[in-house]
Amino acid sequence: MLQQSTPLVPCLSAAQAADLVSWTSTDVARAIKYTAPLIVPMDVASKVTCTHATIVECTDATTYDQAIDALNGGAEGVVIRTDQAPLLAELGADMVASRAIVAVADGQDVPAHLQPAGVLVECEHIPSEKSLQKYLKSMETSVSGRNVYVRAPFETLEHIRGVAQQGATAVVGTSQLCMDQSRDLDYVDALLCMIQSDRADGLYPTLVVSDTCSASLGLVYSSVESVRASLTTGSAHYQSRKRGLWHKGATSGATQRVVQIRLDCDQDALEYRVEQHAGERSVGFCHLVDRDSCFGGLGGLAKLEKTLRARKQSAPPGSYTARLFGDPKLLSAKIREEAQELIDAQEHEHIAFEAADLLYFVLARCIGAGVGLADIERSLDAKSKKVTRRKGDAKPAYSQAMPAKAPPAPATQLDASAPICLPVHKLSETSADKQSELLRRPAIRTNEVMDRVRPILAAVKERGDDAVLSYTAQFDRVQLSSAVRLPPFQSSSDRQAMDPRVREAIDVAYANIRRFHEAQKAPVKTTSRSSHAAWAPGEDVMEITSMPGVVCTRFPRAIERVGIYVPGGSAVLPSTALMLGVPAQVAGCSTIVLATPPRSDGSIAPEVLYVADKVQASCIVCAGGAQAVGAMAYGTESVPKVDKIAGPGNQYVTAAKMLVQNEVDAQVSIDMPAGPSEVLVVADESAEPVFVASDLLSQAEHGPDSQVVLVGIDLSDAKLQAIETEVDRQARALPRVDVVRQAIDKSVTMLVNTREEAITWSNRYAPEHLILHTTEPEQLVPLVQHAGSVFVGAWSPESCGDYASGTNHTLPTYGFARQYGGVSTSTFQKYITAQTLDADGLRKLGPHVIALAECEGLEAHANAVRVRLQQLSPSSLPSTSSSS
């Protein structure tokens, strides 16, 4: 529907239509271009649309195709008389309601079957109030916004004001208008004849917005004089309350090109839409030289456009952005790549992430070609005005070369009544290739994830806190003023918000976890003469005599600065804070940085704050994902740099940890790689089906990529059926049953004949959690070679290890139990070795060291021993290889 709030709409007079070139260069033409649509006759419409917003007036000869061509060409609407009924009928009710203004003679009714976008009343004289109210009421103008236009012999400003006061819009010929008050109808005076101000100085509040993305730049004031100057010059002028008429940017260079000036619907405020230029010092509209807007910096696409424009001008040679602008093939390939990734994305966050990547490369392509967001928006606006469109099918090159992928539609997703059960295989009937396939975890697109994470890490490394806060706003949808909280973390309100039962449970878990991890600091061990008197009592020092006179020692030292990552946001995970914070505290780390994503209101769960206080964390980084890992790895203005990062997380956290540990500049290590959670349950005929099913489902509910494995030892059909029945029954009662279905589809039951086969399969799989539901399960534990943690017997649910038994729940997944153990006290320590040789020890060992050093060609190494032996016993010094 046509929308405009000006008290008048100019109509191109015959004289100006006859000489368009001359007229479009006049001040009046330019002013109309910035402020209102122009009614033009059909025969000149195509010549005017390129410079002005237009409403095209149809003639008796106008055909349906011509009217459609005018609308497709960008006209806001068309004026059609009621006696052109065939044309109105061809356009149809929807088109008439959205784009047609029906012209009637004063006093003539609008046909009842028509609901046009507006009515144009043709009057021989200035219409009476009663006459106009008839049309205003039928159009419901005051609430619908459908305009009543009045074409009459307007001669004075009072005529226009009188019509506008009733709610109608005057149609005035362009030949009657001027810009210098030399005639009775000055265009600026007429444009502003209805504007009101409640200020003593009579100025009008004016909102200034950017032509790009409609970003708000600031609030100023205008006057008739400033509006006139803006329309005449095309450069924004305002009315300063201190300095009078103010040409924006005249001294700073940060000028504004006027794109459009609009009045609001109540006629008491203005909006200036401008193209903002930067000055020598000022980057934008604000008097603060580093701000684009008085309300702060730009965001989203507008910020990206500004960044790309700046990089195009001054990107460092060899930088990625410079490569994009200088290598069309690379940019083209990236656009195709990101488009495909967007097509493949399924989840909300992933779709948003891929769309953002694609927009980055698309906008780089546009900026490189001199096309900005404002150009794109104008093209979109022009397309929105078209009333006929192509069919819209994909071109054959795309529809044939890239056939649509079959959508993933497993039976469990389509049929909620289908049983929830693990696919069953018998080891004796499974080929070696099939076994290898069953042992593989669900695929993770590691390279793609890392490609998304790299720019995040680079931004955090370069911009510090600003990047962390920006990504937190983007991914967690939380605007924070600071990325860090300092101790004490719990306020009185946080303490009151905690359930006393949860506080007691945390205290019990803390005590058990601390007891187990304190025990890992073994007392002094020695096989030699006592040389450890200076060691602290209970310190884990190993000392042996490797040969007479040679004492070797190993002793631990805490890693001074460690970062622990606790997943969060909507989840509350104090258990993970305990599992990471307690070992770091026991190890004696002097700086413990805890990172966790904030909740939707910007807060951190009080339970996590309670644990942070108990483990004496140095600070909390209120951020998650790759940006939190980057902040801890590199350090920022407020986040201390750490030497090691530990903790679980999603694929982006894992990718970030792996990237920073391989970056020499970061100088940070990690605990272990991580993948989706998993469990392997070994069960024989003695197993309780209810317990087995509950243990399998406790991991399946973690996420759709989680995997659960049941290894059945000589199970009867009845026992297997009982377990499957329990899995289905318990799963359907879970809130996350849909997630469980997806995880179960990726899982497996492997039936074996013997206990040895069961443990062999488990060792090949190397599970994060291994649960033994068998007779004499403790006898199987010594056979375990690869597992994160083992849960022995029916009364040892994995949940106890997850929360409070004392062992650690941060464990290797995805088969990494072959190379890594779970988090322990030693995760937060490193070991230093020392050796002490006396003279006799050097006499015995020295000749062998010289021989090996000379074998490797390292003569200085050999000489460091030789000079000592020479002092001790020159006669026993071995000859050098060169003298022999």
Annotated active-site residue 518? The verdict is no
Three-state DSSP at 861 gives helix
Q: Where are the beta strands (DSSP E) in 394-512?
A: 424-426, 484-485
| Two structure tokens written together for 220 | 């100023």
| Residue whose entry in the numeric block shows the structure tokens 């649960």 | 771
Strand-pair partners of 751: 426, 712
Of 768, 786, 798, 809, the catalytic one is 768
Going 595 to 600 to 603 to 606, the CA torsion angle's sign is negative
Among candidate residues 301, 429, 323, the one with its CA nearest the CA of residue 368:
323
Strand-pair partners of 39: 11, 55
| Two structure tokens written together for 219 | 């609030």
Among candidate residues 2, 57, 4, 54, the one with its CA nearest the CA of residue 24:
54
CA distance 686 to 755: 13
CA distance 621 to 631: 8
User: According to the 3-state scheme, what is the secondary structure of 592-645?
Assistant: EEEECCCCCCCCCCHHHHHHHHHCCCCEEECCCHHHHHHHHHHCCCCCCCCCEE
Three-state DSSP at 808 gives coil
Secondary structure element (H or E) that encloses residue 750, with its range? strand 748-752
| Residue whose entry in the numeric block shows the structure tokens 């990325």 | 483
For residue 537, which amino acid is it? Answer: P
Phi and psi at 260, nearest 5°, equal -165, 145
CA distance 817 to 679: 12
Contacts 24+ apart (CB under 8 A), 372-376: 372/212, 372/305, 372/309, 373/212, 373/213, 373/301, 373/302, 373/305, 374/211, 374/212, 374/259, 374/275
| Two structure tokens written together for 814 | 């995805």
CA distance 457 to 662: 13
Annotated active-site residue 678? The verdict is no
CB 677 within 8 A of CB 706: yes
CA distance 65 to 82: 18
Among candidate residues 434, 415, 412, the one with its CA nearest the CA of residue 425:
434
Of 532, 769, 786, 809, the catalytic one is 769
| Two structure tokens written together for 136 | 């205003």
CA distance 378 to 152: 34
| Two structure tokens written together for 353 | 């992430």
CA distance 555 to 846: 25
CA distance 505 to 490: 17
Secondary structure element (H or E) that encloses residue 553, with its range? strand 550-558
CB 191 within 8 A of CB 7: yes
CB 669 within 8 A of CB 643: yes
CA distance 215 to 271: 12
Burial 604-624 (b: 16+ CB within 10 A, else e): bbbbbbbbbebbebbbbbbbb
CB 78 within 8 A of CB 64: no
What residues act catalytically?
A: 768-769
